[in-house]
Structure 1
């Protein structure tokens, strides 16, 4: 098949949708499909206005405008994208939706208007955009026009279902390269000394980075004297100053570290040296960082009402809590119960998650057939 991936955001921006669409393109090509990407994100050298840049062997149509803060928005793009889709001989379009996706929303209409088989995947929960989608009726109309609708987790699919009526919303998860993230045979964790707790996220309010510090601070006060922990929170963003102030105000500097953003390889190696992964996010449609940590052998501590529940089983591969209080109790349990923590770590290191890339490409092909591609 020849596949058009339509997304507001793409590399060199860094985030869940950006990385996943890039990796999906690579794995579709490895399966023998042709792939091209259409995005409103400018290239690393400012490529925009329809320039086609080849990124890792994939043609990327940079339909970006010159806007403040490089916003991935272009209301002028639909006519040119329509022309390129018509001329390109595409078999299917795959639209990737975030919380606010004006570019992808426009292009979903373009693809369906051309009669092109179209799959549409939401990478977000609908809580912040439900009223807009209900008012405008986009998602319901896409279903009526035959689009194959999906979301990245069961929680996200249920959220999308509330705005599309009776149209089926399948689960199309994010993927993980298990060979890349699985720990070396025998592991590299040091089981002596403090338990190393790690988190990784954008320092944005929606991800609740401050809650990481609050949960850890409360848990540390409840730990037995002979069980200590250290916390490392990777990431950058507008909330950094608040985190630094909290660490200083609560005298946490001797056991909390905020090293900033690191490469994926550096993050993986940090996971291999750590013992527990913590994420308190509430509006988490999937949780790619948590999946990476689980694949790297870390027990995952997360909210039960998020997409993390699709790949973390409470009591087996991690601990899922209903609220921050439950996360505090779960962290105390994981830090103080060495046998429990090591049992979960062994399970995660030896039992890969279901969201491997070969299985995700199988699902992608199934979604494209469901949309009408042959």
Structure 2
């Protein structure tokens, strides 16, 4: 990722953080509550959300809480772990729903900057895939309706200032346009444009056939036959069938579908995962680490958190600065493992994180 993209994302997140709606939502999030009061005994919504995070973990992305928390609450009530005042939760959910709606509107507009939009020929957008289903999915979905309302003709996302009650609407629109310019100049957007322009008639026919075939493989009856109830297994089936369909492509059609997934990964990392952390929790934390390693050839770092760095409270999703690691850029925690030898042992906390290349030059530390 480029310095320009990280700068633009930081600036947009700072504008969002001025929203009273964002403040209302983020003030009750478990990580925010823990940082304010490490005993986390303030009860109410924050404690209820902490219980949900313990039970449902990765399902609760900070920018999906408006839709995910009600579903998780229904399940949690069966086990008696969601005791919270209904009025308080309803008030908090109202803010969470607004934040999610504003983010979905923004993501839809950023997607509309893609080459060829709204005629995206990729099989991954067939009906029923993990990118289009309205069942559980780890992705931020691309609804068909989104591509039929002329977003490509707008110069900024729709109604975000109104939804978030941000007074400086022009500043918000300017910040969003800055992100869009940086996205359009990214290697992922440019590769998708290159591969789209290179498609021949036979390539387009190949993509169309793959999309129709995948749609037929993912009709509700087929998914039900594979797994009638368990959400994760149903999601795995959608992913498997999509990967199988894409793997059957060849030539520029394959390059086009591959470039599209590069765009999906870029948007979800930068404008969902990282942006969500910046908006909801603020700048990266500065922490001390030791036993630093660099596994594999990818942009990852592995390290041991020093004992005075918050123990288990630093977890997957967190953004960190690691001055002891000789890595100048910020990192995003991907995985945490706590090892305990006996009852007297406080344990060691080892983490794997993705290095966010370019952030050192773009973000204040």
**TM class, shorter-length:** under 0.3
Which structure is higher in helix share?
2
**TM-score normalized by the length of structure 1:** 0.25
Q: Relative CO higher for 1 or 2, CA cutoff 8 Å, sep ≥ 6?
A: 2
| TM-score normalised per structure 2 | 0.25
